[in-house]
Amino acid sequence: MKVAVFGLGHVGSVAAGCLASQGHRVVGFDTDPAKVEAINSGRSPIVEPGLDALIARAVTAGQLYAQADVSTQLDDCDIAMVCVGTPSAEDGAHDLHQIVEVSRSIAGAITPNRGHKLTIAYRSTVRPGTCEDVILPIYRECLGEAANDLVELVHHPEFLREAQAVDDFLDPPRIVIGTLDGAPSQTCAALYEGYSAPIFHVGIREAEMTKFMDNAWHATKVTFANEIGRLCETLGVSARQMHAMFIADTRLNTGPSYLRPGAPFGGSCLPKDVRALRQVGRETGADVRLVDALLDSNEAHKRHQLERATAGLEPGAHVLLVGLAFKRGTDDLRESPQVDLARSLVERGFRVDIFDPYVEPGRLLGQNLRYVEAHLPGFAGMMVDKPVAEARPYARVLAGNKLVEQLDIDRSKVVALCTIP
């Protein structure tokens, strides 16, 4: 099939590379010329293990290319996959600006004589009702009575973990495809022929809701584990042993993911989706007190980590922060707890160096770059390479993740923020 991918960030780049690797013809669209140039040069616009090689092979084979304007590229496409961002608006709800813009672009590029329906699959996280109340009216406005004959609207959420996104795309835990009437989308399902994952054909609102449920649950697990970890630390109890005993019970408790006390949650999904779900609860009158408390508890954990990081340090001390991205192996700095920590350290007057070999300031693009420039101005000047990180006499080394294991340093100076002992 020929697939158009709109938005070449983390979700879109992975989708484009993986689909092209499976023999589909893929054209990517993005308004950022740097992302388009990266794809057409055979490079990934983002740092994600294995993606550079997939994209390079696909471009060389003629299976993948990118451009900024849609023009007539949709005429022979079977699927348009929308992967643009839905960041937080001022009130906490999802900002649908990019969704609206790309929907209008797609609608304007659909020609009435295309011969078969274009399946438009939205992967972006949106609140239930968005496809029916916001997106569908755009196509009906632009295409008139022909909309039902030209467009099949689908919500198709992604379940990708950064730093493992390629594996997750090629071997997903499940596949969810939501349509307006709940009937199977044969075109969307055909993308996954040969996959072993179960496919759920559901109504479009159920598909929209499932990512909210997932991310709220992940945030709940992180928050619960960190609160128990702080209690253990206060009471002189081993949080590590508590974690081992807790996850051993797979009958009544659950699997181990996100349940180890350590870093606060962050990244491009959990914070914004929890905020959006909280806003939905307030608007609808639902009493979602657990969801309401998640962000407050996460901020409390950030303050706790800052106090652990700075306890006993002399004013103006020189510290090394290991790990800036919210997850090791990526360059995603959006809502990274380490970015918040670095900013707080600078505000308290400490001298801060940062070691994270996956974060290359000159390679950062789009919202990722804008976020870190707004929240940690001058961060590029704080970045140091491995020889410098190992040579300088830091008063303390703050291990935001296991990148610290790559450094030959005085371990007595290390405070591990990624785990609670």
CA separation, residue 350 to residues 148, 299, 321, 337 (Å): 60, 21, 11, 17
Q: Mean pLDDT, to the nearest integer, of 131-156?
A: 96
CA separation, residue 261 to residues 219, 246, 417 (Å): 12, 12, 10
Residue 183 and residue 222 in one domain: no
Q: Mean pLDDT, to the nearest integer, of 300-306?
A: 93
Binned at pLDDT 50, 70 and 90, residue 421 comes out as: low
Measured distance CA(141)–CA(88) in Å, rounded: 27
**Does residue 421 sit within a domain?**
no
**41 phi/psi in degrees, rounded to 5:** -90, 0
Residue 290 and residue 381 in one domain: yes
In this structure, of 203-207, 217-221, 329-333, 417-421, the range with the lowest mean pLDDT score is: 417-421
Among candidate residues 204, 229, 260, the one where a domain is terminated:
204
Measured distance CA(128)–CA(122) in Å, rounded: 13
| Torsion sign across C-alpha atoms 186, 189, 190, 195 | negative
pLDDT digits 0-9 by tens, 270-294: 899 999 988 988 888 888 888 889 9
Residue 183 and residue 294 in one domain: no
Measured distance CA(27)–CA(315) in Å, rounded: 54
Residue 62 and residue 108 in one domain: yes
For the cut 80, the answer to whether the pLDDT of residue 256 exceeds it is no
Binned at pLDDT 50, 70 and 90, residue 72 comes out as: confident
**pLDDT score for 281:** 86
pLDDT digits 0-9 by tens, 32-42: 999 999 999 99
pLDDT digits 0-9 by tens, 352-375: 999 999 999 999 999 999 999 999
Question: pTM of the prediction?
Answer: 0.81
pLDDT digits 0-9 by tens, 87-98: 999 899 999 999
**Does residue 182 sit within a domain?**
yes
Name every residue whose Cβ is closer than 8 Å to that of residue 260 and which is 6 or more positions away in sequence. Answer: 225, 243, 419
| Torsion sign across C-alpha atoms 131, 133, 134, 137 | positive
**pLDDT score for 113:** 85
Residue 92 and residue 219 in one domain: no
Q: Are 12 and 83 in contact (CB under 8 A)?
A: yes
**Does residue 156 sit within a domain?**
yes
> Judging by DSSP bridges, how do beta strands 2-6 and 414-416 pair with one another?
unpaired
Measured distance CA(151)–CA(97) in Å, rounded: 21
> 358 is in which domain, residue-wise?
214-416
Q: Are 198 and 31 in contact (CB under 8 A)?
A: no
pLDDT > 70: percent of the chain = 99
**pLDDT score for 41:** 97
pLDDT digits 0-9 by tens, 161-210: 999 999 999 999 999 999 999 999 999 999 999 999 999 999 999 999 99
Binned at pLDDT 50, 70 and 90, residue 419 comes out as: low
Q: Are 346 and 313 in contact (CB under 8 A)?
A: no
**pLDDT score for 282:** 87
**pLDDT score for 200:** 97
Single-letter code of the amino acid located at 387: P
Q: Mean pLDDT, to the nearest integer, of 11-21?
A: 98
Measured distance CA(166)–CA(170) in Å, rounded: 6
Binned at pLDDT 50, 70 and 90, residue 150 comes out as: very high
Q: Mean pLDDT, to the nearest integer, of 138-158?
A: 95
Residue 198 and residue 218 in one domain: no
- Over the chain, what is the mean pLDDT? 93
Around Cβ 150, how many Cβ atoms within 10 Å?
A: 21
Measured distance CA(173)–CA(310) in Å, rounded: 40
Name every residue whose Cβ is closer than 8 Å to that of residue 47 and which is 6 or more positions away in sequence. Answer: 329, 330, 331, 332, 358, 359, 360, 363
For the cut 70, the answer to whether the pLDDT of residue 420 exceeds it is no
CA separation, residue 35 to residues 14, 27, 38 (Å): 13, 13, 5
Residue 160 and residue 258 in one domain: no
* Count of domains observed in the chain: 2
Measured distance CA(276)–CA(85) in Å, rounded: 13
Among candidate residues 204, 232, 259, the one where a domain is terminated:
204
Residue 366 and residue 330 in one domain: yes
Query: What are 187's two structure tokens?
Result: 């075109």
pLDDT digits 0-9 by tens, 370-395: 999 999 999 999 999 999 999 999 99
Residue 27 and residue 115 in one domain: yes
Q: Mean pLDDT, to the nearest integer, of 396-416?
A: 93
Among candidate residues 144, 169, 204, the one where a domain is terminated:
204
CATH of residue 244's domain is: 3.40.50.720
Per-residue b or e along 345-357, where b marks 16 or more CB atoms closer than 10 Å to that residue's CB: bbeeebebbbbbe
Q: Are 226 and 262 in contact (CB under 8 A)?
A: yes
**pLDDT score for 278:** 87
Query: Which residues belong to the active site?
Result: 269
Q: Are 223 and 199 in contact (CB under 8 A)?
A: no
**pLDDT score for 352:** 97
Question: Residue 275: which H helix or E strand, with range?
Answer: helix 270-284
**Does residue 305 sit within a domain?**
yes
Name every residue whose Cβ is closer than 8 Å to that of residue 391 and which is 6 or more positions away in sequence. Answer: none
Residue 64 and residue 9 in one domain: yes
3-class DSSP state of 24: coil
Residue 87 and residue 174 in one domain: yes
Give the residues across from 419 on adjacent strands.
Answer: 262
Nearest Cα residue to 191 out of 206, 204, 176, 180: 176
Q: Mean pLDDT, to the nearest integer, of 331-342?
A: 94
**Does residue 209 sit within a domain?**
no
Residue 69 and residue 158 in one domain: yes
Nearest Cα residue to 91 out of 280, 297, 219: 280
Around Cβ 121, how many Cβ atoms within 10 Å?
A: 25
